[in-house]
């Protein structure tokens, strides 16, 4: 297995949102509720009030100031441009019949989930210790890729939840293999409620935090090397000076939802969020 090639795939443009090639699908298809993340309510299928006629956001540079921080942490993993330009062949939901728009809005969340799985599977193939399941991972990667290229009808009928469950079995096995070499006793904190937890400087190497609730937790200076962070809720988590080197199944949206600093060490496939301050 060419892990360098797989690593390149994890950050490939087709697995990152390209708003310039999308018809603003996340700003229309998805609902949101007035909260700390969104200034207003919006129903699924209804365009955000800030969406311009050219499918660009009218307040993109001021989203946080205007009360739309939720938009700044979202990433479609490239599903927006896939649905806009490939699934529907560049046909705009604004100019077509209402039925086409509804189908686009239904298909978009499905493709988004599939593209997120592509991200995880590609990353799993970069883990040397997961070699025993690399063949199965490659098979799942190829199958998931094929599913993303389905017709609107095929995607609309897809049981994406069942496919996620099948893939998750492989991802869990890859995680166990990758973390097997961690020193000391590795606690499984899968789904743990760690909201507001004080974990400054904690040694969390090789720990499983799959689906854990770390909202507003203090992980200042924590060692998260080789930790499994798939699905962990990092909203307002303080990652100042934390070491996330080698942490896997961590995504850009998770980082964007957290707080950090110039001293926070990140996996090479991810970028430091613009809103993180250099000095605390």
Is 194 a residue whose pLDDT tops 90?
yes
Mean local confidence (pLDDT), 259-271? 93
Is 7 a residue whose pLDDT tops 90?
no
Can you give the pLDDT at residue 215?
A: 96
- Length, in residues, of the chain: 280
Can you give the pLDDT at residue 16?
A: 87
Is 130 a residue whose pLDDT tops 90?
yes
Q: Chain centroid to CA 71: how far?
A: 13
Mean local confidence (pLDDT), 113-125? 97
Say whether 28 sits in a helix, a strand or coil.
Answer: coil
Can you give the pLDDT at residue 168?
A: 97
Can you give the pLDDT at residue 12?
A: 52
Count the neighbouring beta carbons within 10 Å of the beta carbon of residue 170. Answer: 20
Can you give the pLDDT at residue 27?
A: 94
| 269 and 249 Cβ atoms separated by less than 8 Å | no
The model's confidence at residue 182, banded by pLDDT at 50, 70 and 90, is: confident
| 138 and 105 Cβ atoms separated by less than 8 Å | no
Closest-CA residue to 55 (of 86, 103, 11, 17): 17
Mean local confidence (pLDDT), 194-198? 97
Q: Chain centroid to CA 96: how far?
A: 30
Can you give the pLDDT at residue 184?
A: 59
Average model confidence (pLDDT) across the chain = 90
Distances (CA, A) of 246 to 78, 209, 233: 24, 14, 18
The model's confidence at residue 6, banded by pLDDT at 50, 70 and 90, is: very low
């Amino acid at each position: 297995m060419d892990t360098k090639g797989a690593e390149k795939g994890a950050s490939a443009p087709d697995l990152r949102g390209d708003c310039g090639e999308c018809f603003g699908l996340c700003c229309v298809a998805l609902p949101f509720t007035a909260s700390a993340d969104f200034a207003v309510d919006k129903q699924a299928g209804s365009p955000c009030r800030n969406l311009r006629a050219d499918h660009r956001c009218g307040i993109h540079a001021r989203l946080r100031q205007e009360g739309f921080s939720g938009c700044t942490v979202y990433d479609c993993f490239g599903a927006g441009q896939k649905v806009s330009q490939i699934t529907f062949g560049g046909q705009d939901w604004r100019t077509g019949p209402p039925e086409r728009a509804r189908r686009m809005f239904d298909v978009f969340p499905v493709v988004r989930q599939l593209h997120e799985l592509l991200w995880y599977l590609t990353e799993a193939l970069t883990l040397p210790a997961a070699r025993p399941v690399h063949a199965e991972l490659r098979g799942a990667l190829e199958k998931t890729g094929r599913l993303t290229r389905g017709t609107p009808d095929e995607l609309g009928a897809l049981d994406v939840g069942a496919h996620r469950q099948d893939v998750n079995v492989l991802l869990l096995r890859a995680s166990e293999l990758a973390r097997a070499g961690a020193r000391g006793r590795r606690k499984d904190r899968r789904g743990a409620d760690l909201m507001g937890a004080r974990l400054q400087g904690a040694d969390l190497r090789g720990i499983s935090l799959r689906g854990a609730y770390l909202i507003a937790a203090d992980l200042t200076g924590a060692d998260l090397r080789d930790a499994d962070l798939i699905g962990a809720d990092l909203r307002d988590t303080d990652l100042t000076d934390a070491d996330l080197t080698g942490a896997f199944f961590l995504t850009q949206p998770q980082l964007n939802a957290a707080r950090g600093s110039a001293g926070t060490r990140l996996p090479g496939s991810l970028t430091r969020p613009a809103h993180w301050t250099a000095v605390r």
